[in-house]
A and B are shown apart, each in its own frame.
Chain A
Amino acid sequence: MTDMDKASVIASHRQELRRGTVVVACLVVLQQPGYGYALLETLARAGFDVEANTLYPLLRRLESQGLLESDWNTDDARPRKFYRTTPEGMQVADTLRREWVDLSARLDDLRKES
């Protein structure tokens, strides 16, 4: 395997591992209401590489699942759709975060055993 192959294998596993974390990150960040582009920036600064064309549809899906709610803010020159995490969304975020911590602990256990 060349170095490039290795790098692409690692990249694909990493992407697989990180896939679900974007949802948790969104639900956590949006406890404070926010709009699409601002959220994209916040996530990028926090080290969550998510594409705009993934994030925007994801926000609508989470809204349709009742984990986010939205309001149009027309105070600014540019009207923006602000999302906010619902109480149900907070519960889901807590469950998923506990799962994440749990998985991390179990991985540590496995490493110690071997």
Chain B
Amino acid sequence: MPTTTPTLTDRYVATALRTLPERQRPDIERELRASIGDAVDARVDAGEAQADAEHAVLVELGDPDALAARYADRPQTLIGPATYPHWKRMLRLLLAIVLPVSVAIDTAVSLLTREGVGELMAGVVTTILFVGIQLCFWVTAVFWLLDRTQALPSYRWDPSQLPTFADTQNSSVRSEGIAAAVWSALLIGLIVWQQFASFFVEDGRPVPLLEPSHWTLWWPAVVALVAVEAAIAVLAMRARRWTLRLLGAHLAVQVALTAIGLYLLLTRQFFNPAFLERLDWDTDAVEAFDLLGWADASGPETILASGAILALLISFAVDLAQTIQRAIRLRRDRTHA
């Protein structure tokens, strides 16, 4: 029983009791103290020191909050297995809808208010983080409540909810094919468009973003390669699966595109100097990010070039990982067939 200084047992019992309903406490306390006392006595009788015995017994009983949860028969999960599938489906759905919409709105607002590229990127990152964290938190909070109050109707799964067989077999190849085709069309459109329309006009003629003299070789080559890439994805879509030959061709095109891009960027032939001169961004912060170390490069050139190099490298890495994954899957399917 408590003396002037509380023992370990006193502290343990008090901690375990604090979350239990008031009327159960005296009885549980009495019983718990007796049980701890019995166990300590048994160890002392076996030759252990009193303090060691008490310590060992409490370690065996474990976390007092977990013990209290067992006494109270409380669930020890935030969202139990009955609610978990609902929570996961809802969170995925909301993230897939709300995040792209927020980013689109953010981008539109930035463009309308004519913010710089830096602010636009920072805004997008902030939006994704903020909206994503808020979504996760509130969805989880609501489903935690539903789980505790058992308000969800018991989930009856029905075979009619199954996706069609064709969808599960081909959906990824098909959606990837469509996405690749749309993406390639957009990219080609942008490359051509920037030659004839620009934010800047000089002597009544637009100032292109990309170095215009390269239309003799590099830019047509890039356009052709992008078109070939789209064609490969469409072929895979029509064949309903990737083959090793298609994957090899895809990889070759990717390597060529990345190599051309890096070569032009690193030799500073990528952007049109006339365009870069027109940019008057506030570039005080640039030096911190200056990885290229071009002594005579302007702030905008440094930002654009390092951003483009980074984007090229990342997209190549992602694409390479995806290609390897497809190849592994292909191989596995083949050995199984």
Interface residues of A (CB under 8 A from B): 35-38, 40-41, 51-54, 56-57, 60-61, 72, 78-81
Contact = CB atoms under 8 A, between A and B. Distances in A.
B192 interface: no
A79 B60 contact: no
Given A37-B38, A37-B42, A57 B67 contact: yes
Contacts of B73: 57, 61
B71 A57 contact: yes
Interface in B46-97: 60-62, 66-67, 70-71, 73
A41 B42 CA distance: 10
A90 to B, nearest CB: 23
Contacts of B42: 37, 41
15 contacts: A35-B35, A35-B38, A36-B35, A37-B38, A37-B42, A41-B42, A52-B35, A53-B61, A56-B31, A56-B32, A56-B71, A57-B67, A61-B73, A79-B30, A79-B34
Most buried by A among B30, B35, B60, B71: B35
B135 interface: no
Given A52-B61, A56-B31, A78 B38 contact: yes
Contacts of A52: 35, 39, 60-61
A76 to B, nearest CB: 10
A36 B32 CA distance: 9
A69 B27 CA distance: 14
B37 interface: yes
B38 A56 contact: no
Given A53-B70, A57-B70, A57-B71, A37 B60 contact: no
Interface residues of B, number: 19
Given A37-B39, A57-B67, A57-B71, A51 B34 contact: no
Q: Label chain A's interface by main secondary structure.
A: helix
Given A37-B42, A57-B67, A51 B37 contact: no
A53 B34 contact: no
Nearest to A72: B30
Nearest to A81: B31
Listed from nearest, the 4 A-B pairs whose CB atoms lie closest are A37-B38, A57-B70, A36-B35, A81-B31
A94 B94 CA distance: 52
A23 to B, nearest CB: 14
A53 B38 contact: no
Given A57-B70, A57-B71, A35 B60 contact: no
A54 B67 CA distance: 8
B27 to A, nearest CB: 8
A72 B29 CA distance: 13
Given A79-B30, A81-B34, A54 B39 contact: no
A53 B35 contact: no
A82 to B, nearest CB: 10
Nearest to B34: A80
Contacts of B31: 36, 56, 80-81
Nearest to B30: A79
A51 B73 CA distance: 16
A51 B59 CA distance: 12
Contacts of B35: 35-37, 52, 56
A81 B66 contact: no
A72 B73 CA distance: 23
A78 B34 contact: yes
Given A52-B60, A52-B61, A53-B61, A78 B37 contact: yes
A53 B30 contact: no
A78 B70 CA distance: 25
A52 B12 CA distance: 15
B33 to A, nearest CB: 9
